[in-house]
Amino acid sequence: MPLRILIFAALAVIVYLGVRRIWRDWTSKFDNDAEDAKRLRRERDLAERQRPDVIDLKRDKDGTFRPNDRDDR
């Protein structure tokens, strides 16, 4: 009987450690993927700002965004 309990406890510890390792690996993988996506999105946005057909918007006094006046440039 004690041997059976010891075997089940050892198996439970092994399963727990395996699940914990998988969880950490997947979490770090998803975090790295999210960070890469954020970096790529930022680079894309910066590149799009340089295009001549992009309009810069400025928040007006009433809170709406409107194109910049020529005086502001």
Q: Is the pTM of this model over 0.85?
A: no
Write the pLDDT tens digit of every residue in 24-58: 999 999 999 999 999 999 999 999 888 888 888 88
pLDDT at position 12, please? 96
- The answer to whether residues 37 and 31 touch, using CB atoms and an 8 Å cutoff, is no
pLDDT at position 35, please? 96
pLDDT at position 69, please? 67
Tokens describing residue 72: 């502001």
Tokens describing residue 25: 């690996």
Tokens describing residue 41: 């999105």
pLDDT at position 7, please? 96
Tokens describing residue 22: 């998988």
